[in-house]
Amino acid sequence: MSNPASDAPAGERDVALACAILKQRFGERLQTGKSIREQHGHTLSWLPNQPPDAVIFANDSQDVADIVSVCAEHKCPVIAFGVGSSLEGHLNAPQGGVCIDMSQMNQVLEVQADDLSVRVQPGVTRKALNTYLRDTGLFFPIDPGADASLGGMAATRASGTNAVRYGTMKDNVLSLRAVMADGREINTASRAKKTSAGYDLTRLLVGSEGTLGIITELTVKLHGIPESIAGGVCHFPDVESACRATIQTIQYGIPIARIELLDVSQVIASNAYSKLGLKELPTMFVEFHGSDSATAEQSELFGEIVRDCGGSDFEWTKDEAARNKLWQARHDAYWAARQMRPEAEAVITDACVPISRLADCVEETRKDIEANNFLAPMVGHVGDGNFHTMVLIDMNSPKEVAAAKEFSERLSARAIAMGGTCTGEHGVGQGKTRYLRDELGDTVDFMAMIKQAFDPDNILNPGKIF
């Protein structure tokens, strides 16, 4: 069962022994069946399946601490698993080891309405949290495409369509409890607004992709459900004019909550999958949150900007059903794209550039897609300068796989050359490790020193980021 990777410390790592000890402790909650291991070794990623040696379903933080303690003693890799919706092979087990499935740790522990915050276990998903909150007048705004777990979202510093108004996980996690590599649990901050003096451990753990500690509890910020939400759709003759409209909207200080772009190819995909009936032109979805009068005023102002920039057909509505249909379609963009070539896998890119360079970056990428004859729909969080292409390729064709990899590399290099990053929100995982050095140079070695200081035996999610 044990399959120590070649770079593991020789003669020390003993995954089989760790699993045997944990089996004694956890009984049926430790599973070694092939299919359950494979379910935990392959997420929404085009990387090959890399199953762990065992999967344990944790019930509480003591379980997590016990598992990590045993793994620490035997230098066994240990990986925390939420719902498996990450995109860069973050959760696969390239060096084997133990996967801790957090799905049973799914309790909302305490809504602190006065504090606009909530304490949750890491397995709570974003939709489950909002369902729980529905009678409180509060909501949690971060919305990656999938119904991800809060623990996973914190670990990958996730964002979504609301980031332009409400920020990302880095802005919305107030404090964490986490089990560190020695099996001890820490609490990173108190409930007070400003974390006590000292290094910002909360934000060091947010986005550390399970490599510095395993999140066992989170306190996240909540927001009041706006009195009024207005949303709409408009079309643009080209991506450049859509970007111009975005820049003007932000310049005027219009507090837009969501501003999302779909290219023609994605519009075709979403029309088919989500039955939208949109014109086949670059299309923008927008939403405004605030008082009744404010959202009406903002929608009118935005409409003027759209017309100034050559856009058309801007229509807005406060009707909840119509808005929900639109945003569900946006969240289903991944599935819609895959439906265009059902037998294919999607290689997803995640470039983020300064907004003024977004149009150039998208245009050059579009030409690259055409030159390669790819089927590759594109969606953009244009308010943040972040966009994704979903290159649909046949994994059985080495030629297509190689071409997609080269395309990804060119796109990452393009974004970095424009002052941006190869990953705006999906993270590094295994998929982006080689671009990290292009982007950060020697800084990567320095980050590795932090990893070494926190986890000297490299047991926490090894093979990721670095």
Partner 1 sequence: MVAGASSNDASELLQQQVLDSIARSRPLNIVGGNSKAFLGAVADGDALQTSNHRGVISYEPTELVITARAGTPLSEIEKLLAEHRQSLPFEPPRHSPDATIGGAVASALSGPARPFAGAVRDYVLGCRVINGQGQQLSFGGQVMKNVAGYDVTRLMTGARGTLGVLLDVSIKVLPVPEQQITLESTIELPAALATMQKMKGSNYPVTAACYHEGKLSFRFAGSEAGLAAAIADLGGDKTRDTSFWDELRDQQLAFFNTDQLWRLAVPSGTPALDIAGEWLYDWAGEQRWLKTTASADSIRETVARHGGYAQLYRAPESLQASAGVEHPLPDKIMQLHSSIKQSFDPHSIFNPGRLFPGL
443 binds partner 1, rule: CB under 8 A: yes
Nearer to partner 1, 272 or 450 (CB): 450
Nearer to partner 1, 248 or 317 (CB): 248
Nearer to partner 1, 108 or 116 (CB): 116
417 binds partner 1, rule: CB under 8 A: no
Kindly state the tokens that stand for 393.
């390729």
CB of 318 to partner 1, least distance (A): 15
Asked if 42 and 88 touch (Cβ cutoff 8 Å), the reply is no
User: Which span (257-265, 365-373, 394-402, 451-459) binds partner 1, by CB under 8 A?
Assistant: 451-459
Interacting residue with partner 1 among 11, 198, 342, 398 (CB under 8 A): 198
Q: Which residues contact 283 (CB under 8 A, 6 or more apart)?
A: 233, 234, 235, 236, 261, 262, 267
Nearer to partner 1, 47 or 206 (CB): 206
Residues 244-283 as x/- pattern, contact with partner 1 by CB under 8 A: ---x--xxxx------------------------------
Q: Give CA–CA dist 106/123, Å, rounded.
A: 4
Q: Which of residues 348-377 bind partner 1 (CB under 8 A)?
A: 352-356
Asked if 411 and 368 touch (Cβ cutoff 8 Å), the reply is yes
Q: Which residues contact 334 (CB under 8 A, 6 or more apart)?
A: 44, 145, 346, 348, 390
Q: What letters, b where the CB count within 10 A reaches 16 and e where it falls short, cover 131-163? A: ebbeeeebbbbbbbbbebbbbbbbbbbbbbbbb
Separation of CA 240 from chain center? 26
CB of 87 to partner 1, least distance (A): 11
69 binds partner 1, rule: CB under 8 A: no
Q: Which of residues 108-147 bind partner 1 (CB under 8 A)?
A: 112-116
Nearer to partner 1, 269 or 428 (CB): 428
290 binds partner 1, rule: CB under 8 A: yes
Interacting residue with partner 1 among 204, 276, 322, 401 (CB under 8 A): 204
Beta strands in 295-429 (DSSP E): 312-317, 345-348, 378-381, 386-393
Q: Which residues contact 17 (CB under 8 A, 6 or more apart)?
A: 74
Q: Which of residues 5-44 bind partner 1 (CB under 8 A)?
A: none
Nearer to partner 1, 32 or 248 (CB): 248
User: Which span (199-207, 259-267, 270-278, 371-379) binds partner 1, by CB under 8 A?
Assistant: 199-207
Give bridge partners of residue 317 from the DSSP assignment: 231
CB of 26 to partner 1, least distance (A): 25
CB of 211 to partner 1, least distance (A): 9
398 binds partner 1, rule: CB under 8 A: no
Interacting residue with partner 1 among 59, 131, 293, 312 (CB under 8 A): 293
Beta strands in 158-311 (DSSP E): 173-180, 185-187, 213-221, 223-224, 228-235, 256-262, 283-290
Separation of CA 26 from chain center? 31
